[in-house]
Each structure stands twice: as structure tokens, then as C-alpha cells.
Amino acid sequence: MRSIIDILDLSVEEIDSLINTACDIIENPDKYCDKCKRKKLATLFFEPSTRTRLSFEAAMYELGGNVIGFSAANNSSAAKGESVSDTVKTVSCYADIIAMRHPKEGAPMVASMAASVPVINAGDGGHNHPTQTLADLLTIYREKGSFNNLTVGLCGDLKFGRTVHSLINALSRYSGINFILISPDELKLPDYVTNNVLKKYNIPYEETTDLLEAMPKLDILYMTRVQRERFFNEQDYIRLKDSYILTPDKLDTAKQDLCIMHPLPRVNEISVAVDNDKRACYFKQVKNGKYMRMALILMLLGVE
């Protein structure tokens, strides 16, 4: 029994295999429509979600399985004071696999130690979000053909943005990756990511506040939302929330094959006028997320 708490719980070979499965699902969806018959996925979401929860659920339904769960802490016994461990011990009696989102960093890890079925981290506080990274990786693979030799700009809230932390971990295992970290000083990448990943593995990176200066160098531009729910005070959020707003004119100096990504939801970071640009890939990411979650569920349930 195996859980996925961190993107590094998957080897590079396993990521390749998930990508192959996802591509096969895209080509031959009918082949997969009964693979999880009579299996149940539980989605335990202690924090809001649209894409992640619904794509896990759509993924399980497309595999012929069923879904149970809750979409807010106040709909569960957490509201009565039940611990995460007791909740997942209970849910393990009903479901074959669990996807869990929680505002506390480490909660899915604690859950995986108590559960008797696989637990997938669907986002833990400002820490990690491995299945968003799977969506991001499939998108990069389909747009760029490989994960090597890319200049990747990560822009916005690099401090609290868990999708950024997981993506950096994942991409750092490929060759020729170069990061440009674009953020206000107060929202810089946490030291634990800079030190334990970028510096440790000698990954080239630069930190800047200037999106326009970085733009012409980028193969990928990964925009992120300023994570309001993780701020200690609203004043700071208001001051920082519109630090970067991508508009069509800012793309004038960008590469023709730039891939513009965003895990969504967006607030103001990308103007809707950019949606028509052929380089906008964020709604493709949404689709890709479902296929990768299907592939991951199959892997963790040991379905051939």
C-alpha cells in the first residue's frame, strides 16, 4: 500500500509511465471505462477546491468507479473535533483510495500513516500539491515534447504557492532546467526550497521582481495567484495581490512558442484577453489533470 504525499514519492521512471498511461487514456478512453469497477475513491477536502476535487471525481467516474466524500471541513466530523487520523481510519473502512486536501502542512502525511488505503495529497497548506504537478508535467510534455533544456519562469506568490514548490522539485530532476523566480521580495521562494532543492542540486536560478525583463528568455511562464488564505493580515494581501497582471502587450517580447501556465483559479494575474493567445495553456492543464489523476489512481490501485 502506497501513498503519494510529495511529487518526489514518484521516480522519474514512474512519472514517464504515468504520462504514457495518460496519453493512452486520451487516445483510447473506452479501454479504461471499467478499470475501477466497484472501487471507491473518497475525496476528503478540508479546504475549498473546484478543479482538484472535481477532476479526481471525474477521473474515478471515467474509470468506472464510484466516489464518496466531503468538500468542506464543516461538513465532516472535523467540525466536532475529530482528528485527521480518526477520520481516515474511518474512511479506510469505506473506500479503496483517498484524495485529501487540508490547510495544515503535513496533514495528508499524518493521514497516510493512519490509513489502511493509499492517500493522495491533494494540496497541504502552503507546502505541496503533487497532483497539480502531474497535470503541469503532462502539459509541458504535450507542448514541449520533453522536460529538458527549458527556462521556466515562476511568477507571483512563490512563498505560499504550493504548486510552485512541487513543480520545482519535479523539474529539478531533469537536465538543462533553469528557473527564473519572479516575485515581490515578500513572496520569494521559501529558503527550504531554495536550499534543499535549487542550491543542493546546483540548479541555475535567478530571482527578480521584473516580469518584463524575464519575458524574452522564457520557454514556460507559470503564473500564480497570491494566496490570500495564507496571509496573516489582509492589508499585506491587498498591497501585494496585483503585483503581476499578465496582459497581451506584455507578451510582445515573449517567444512564439512560450507556454503560459497557471494552476487556476486566477484572480487578476492573467487578463482574460490573454485566453485567446495560442500560447495560453491553462485550460489545457485542467484537462490534463484529469488524465494524470486517472493514471495515478490506476497505479496506486495496482490495476493493469
Is residue 129 flagged as an active site residue?
A: yes
Is residue 80 flagged as an active site residue?
A: yes
Is residue 151 flagged as an active site residue?
A: no
State which amino acid sits at residue 208: T
Gap between the Cα atoms of 149 and 68, Å rounded: 42
Min separation Cβ 226 and ligand NCD, Å:
8
Sheet holding 97-102, edge to edge: 66-70, 40-45, 97-102, 119-124
Q: Which is nearer to ligand NCD, 216 or 265 (CB)?
A: 265
Gap between the Cα atoms of 240 and 230, Å rounded: 13
**Cα 129 to the center of its chain, rounded Å:** 4
**Residue 136, helix vs strand vs coil:** helix
Min separation Cβ 34 and ligand NCD, Å:
28
State the Cα angle at 247 between 243 and 249, rounded to 5°.
120
Catalytic residue among 129, 165, 262, 290: 129
Is residue 284 flagged as an active site residue?
A: no
Helix (H) or strand (E) holding 240: helix 234-240
Min separation Cβ 41 and ligand NCD, Å:
17
Is residue 127 flagged as an active site residue?
A: no
Q: Supply the DSSP symbol for 244.
A: -
Sign for the CA dihedral angle at 199, 201, 205, 209 comes to negative
Do the beta carbons of residue 263 and residue 224 sit within 8 Å? yes
State which amino acid sits at residue 138: L
CA distances from 92 to 11, 95, 202 (A): 26, 5, 41
Catalytic residue among 35, 39, 101, 293: 101
Min separation Cβ 63 and ligand NCD, Å:
20
Q: Which is nearer to ligand NCD, 204 or 265 (CB)?
A: 265
Q: Which is nearer to ligand NCD, 3 or 55 (CB)?
A: 55
Q: Which is nearer to ligand NCD, 35 or 182 (CB)?
A: 182
Catalytic residue among 52, 87, 163, 194: 52
Q: Give me the residues that bind ligand NCD (CB under 6 A), please.
A: 51-52, 123, 129, 132, 162-163, 225, 263-265
Q: Which is nearer to ligand NCD, 214 or 286 (CB)?
A: 286
Min separation Cβ 114 and ligand NCD, Å:
23
**Which residues are the active-site residues?**
51-52, 80, 101, 129
